[in-house]
Amino acid sequence: MPKTTVDLVRAEGNFYKEQFDKATQQDFEALLDQRIDEAAVEVEREVGSEHYNSSDPVTDSLLCTAETYLACAKCLQTIESIIATWDREQLPSEFVSAEHVAQMIERYRRLAKEILDQFDTTFDEAPKPYLAAE
C-alpha cells in the first residue's frame, strides 16, 4: 500500500487536472493514484520490503517523502508527453514551460534518490549459527 496520497502529490507538484488533459476531477485523481502506485513499487523495490513495511515513524516519513517525489516525477513525465503532442502550437497557460519539465523531473528523482540512498539494503546472507545447528 502506498505511503503517499493524492493530496500530497497534488500539493507538492502543484498539479491540477487541466495539465493532464483530463475531463473530470475523478479522472485526474485516478491518474495520480496510478502514478503513486508506480512510485510505491519503485520505492519498495529500492529499499526492500523490510524497510518499506517498517513501523518506525521516521522511516515511514522518509519513504513517504521519497514516494511523493517519485510520483511527482512520474506525473511530470506524463505532462512532458502531453506537451510533445501539442507540437508547435502555443501551449495553454496551465502547462508548465516545456523547457523546465525535464529539469523538474530530474530534480524530483534526485531528491528521492538522496532519501533512498540512506537505507542499507545489504543483508547478511550467511547462515545463522543457531539455525545451522538444528
Confidence (pTM): 0.82
User: Where residue 120 falls among pLDDT bands split at 50, 70, 90?
Assistant: confident
The residue assigned the cell 479522472 is 27
SS (H, E, C) 43-66: HHHHHCHHHHCCCCHHHHHHHHHH
Q: Which CA distances in Å does 16 have to 3, 103, 111, 124?
A: 21, 19, 22, 45
Per-residue pLDDT tens for 20-32? 878 789 999 999 9
Residue ranges of the domains in the chain? 6-132
Distance CA 57, CA 59 (A): 5
